[in-house]
Amino acid sequence: MSSFLGTERRTLRAGASGTRDRLVARVARMAGWLSRVTRMGAGATVPGRIVHRLDPGFIRRRAAALPDGIVVVSGTNGKTTTASMVQSVLRSQGISFIANPTGSNLLGGVANALVEAAPGTRMGVFEVDEAALPRLVPLLKPRLLILTNVFRDQLDRFGEPERVAALLRLACERLPDGATVVANADDIQLWSAVQACDPIGFGVSGISVSSDSGTEAEPVGCPSCGAELEFTHRTLANLGQARCERCGWRSARPRHRARVVATAGLEGIVFEIADEIVTLPVGGVHSAYNAAAAITAVEVLGIPAGAAIGALEEYQPRFGRAEEIRFEDHTLWLGLIKNPAGATVLTQQVAADRRVGAVVLSVNDNDADGQDISWIWDADFETLVESGMPLVPGGRRADDVAVRLRYAGGQPLPAQRDPLTALRAALDAAPDHDLIVVLATYTAMLDIREALFDRSTRVQDAATA
Ligand SMILES: [Zn+2]
């Protein structure tokens, strides 16, 4: 063993950087394989972490070796979907790229994707956790940084949105010369945090949050003078356009704004952008934001909006974001929830969709979900209750979900911590409907998928899209 390591070390010093990178990658892959067969870890991020430990220059060198550079996506909501939309457009243009899998968005996951990069790969498209971003930006030196939004999320991990905005600002300041920031111009807090980096904006209009939505309550202060802003248009939570009565400050004008012309519940959303009409096969105003971000971003890379739109109309969502699974002659529609803004969008979409027979609301409190689940009190479950659909509280915190739904005036079915029991309860409550919706936090979604494994046929295999 010691002679093996000794040989490796000598080679690391002597070889050219290409040879060295291949060796480091081989050792790391072996470690990943070991961790999988010994079940010590997930294996998905272990090789990456080992690579970085063995050779701190690895990420920097491998990133620099990609001829068309690196795109990074960060922000509270929509990272995975926006990155996946950018990837769909690149794929449609025949551009080879590497990406990190969903959930592996820390240093280890990014390093691991670089380990796995096939020869001839031209680009990297990575979603990066907000807290890991300031450290990864100097290593990756991205040519393009896409920032989706800053919402209240997993409070026990990040603290307040102000702290997240500060992390994103720091990351922008660390970008290499000539890099471009594409940011959500409707997110006043985010935009003002990164304004000094001269961002290119995207936004959405043509749709308004209902005035009784709980998420509208939070006031937003003027970035210039601190007075409370007056919204002229509000699309979702704190997103929209505003102005300050006191000092005359106004929201920035985005380069591209998606103007929503029609919505179709879970099925899709139609909007106008860059003088074209887009029919996106995933629903919700948040999907319009993600698509507007992707269209604006790929234009920076030299891909015209028209070409991007063509690719997005064929878009297939990734795991858990919005995917359909067949289960006991019913269609299950799975949506991921993790914070009030995202959950509110989904619950309103579901409530408006008359095909939905019943809804399972599954909340876990593991590390990956955020242990503080108090956000369920800020999400709009009232609209869902008013729709009259049977609701099944599920997940480790099923009892808390039940309390929340009763507080909203609902009469939920009995709480079911077991995923299969919860699904069956929903099916039994809606015998005449084909469509059952499951809204779940990250690990609750994993539990449901595990329970369904071998019992279902996927209608759309989103993970491979
Ligand atoms: Zn002001």
pLDDT > 70? residue 12: no
**Which of the four pLDDT bands, split at 50, 70 and 90, describes residue 139?**
very high
75 CA to centre of ligand 1 in angstroms: 25
Instruction: Report, as an integer, the average pLDDT of 65-71.
Output: 96
356 CA to centre of ligand 1 in angstroms: 44
Q: Classify domain 58-312 by CATH number.
A: 3.40.1190.10
> What local confidence, expressed as pLDDT, does residue 122 receive?
95
pTM of the full structure: 0.76
Instruction: Report, as an integer, the average pLDDT of 208-214.
Output: 54
pLDDT > 80? residue 216: no
**Which of the four pLDDT bands, split at 50, 70 and 90, describes residue 158?**
low
**Digit-coded pLDDT (tens) for 93-125:** 999 999 997 778 888 889 989 988 888 899 999
> What local confidence, expressed as pLDDT, does residue 327 receive?
84
90 CA to centre of ligand 1 in angstroms: 41
243 CA to centre of ligand 1 in angstroms: 8
In which residue ranges of the chain is CATH 3.90.190.20 found?
A: 323-464
> What local confidence, expressed as pLDDT, does residue 277 receive?
92
250 CA to centre of ligand 1 in angstroms: 8
pLDDT > 90? residue 400: yes
Whose structure tokens read 């995975």?
80
pLDDT > 70? residue 189: yes
- Closest to 84 (Cα-Cα) out of 291, 279, 330: 291
pLDDT > 90? residue 56: no
251 CA to centre of ligand 1 in angstroms: 11
* Tokens describing residue 175: 């970008």
Give the per-residue SS3 of the chain: CHHHHHHHHHHHHHCCHHHHHHHHHHHHHHHHHHHHHCCCCCCCCHHHHHHHHHCCCHHHHHHHCCCCCEEEEECCCCHHHHHHHHHHHHHHCCCCEEECCCCCCCHHHHHHHHHHCCCCCCEEEEECCCCCHHHHHHHHCCCEEEECCCCCCCHHHHCCHHHHHHHHHHHHHCCCCCCEEEEECCEHHHHHHHHHHCCEEEEEECCCCCCCCHHHHCCCECCCCCCECEEEEEEECCEEEEECCCCCCECCCCCEEEEEEEEECCCEEEEEECCEEEEECCCCHHHHHHHHHHHHHHHHCCCCHHHHHHHHCCCCCCCCCCEEEEECCEEEEEEECCCHHHHHHHHHHHHCCCCEEEEEEECCCCCCCCCCCHHHHCCCCHHHHHCCCCEEEECCCHHHHHHHHHHCCCCCCCCECCHHHHHHHHHHHCCCCCEEEEEECHHHHHHHHHHHCCCEEECCCHHHC
In this predicted structure, which of 221-230, 357-366, 394-403, 451-460 has the lowest mean pLDDT? Answer: 451-460
Bridging pattern class, strands 391-394 and 356-362 = parallel
> What local confidence, expressed as pLDDT, does residue 184 receive?
98
**Which of the four pLDDT bands, split at 50, 70 and 90, describes residue 52?**
confident
224 CA to centre of ligand 1 in angstroms: 5
pLDDT > 70? residue 233: yes
183 CA to centre of ligand 1 in angstroms: 21
246 CA to centre of ligand 1 in angstroms: 5
Q: Return the percentage of the chain with pLDDT > 70, whole number.
A: 85
Q: At the topology level of CATH, where does 323-464 sit?
A: Protein-Tyrosine Phosphatase; Chain A (3.90.190)
Q: Can you name the residues that pair with 263 across neighbouring β-strands?
A: 269
What is the pLDDT of the chain when averaged over all its residues? 85
In which residue ranges of the chain is CATH 3.40.1190.10 found?
A: 58-312
**Which of the four pLDDT bands, split at 50, 70 and 90, describes residue 419?**
very high
> What local confidence, expressed as pLDDT, does residue 129 receive?
92
**Digit-coded pLDDT (tens) for 303-354:** 999 999 999 998 877 655 667 788 888 888 888 888 888 888 889 889 888 8
> What local confidence, expressed as pLDDT, does residue 159 receive?
61
In this predicted structure, which of 33-37, 290-294, 422-426, 450-454 has the lowest mean pLDDT? Answer: 33-37
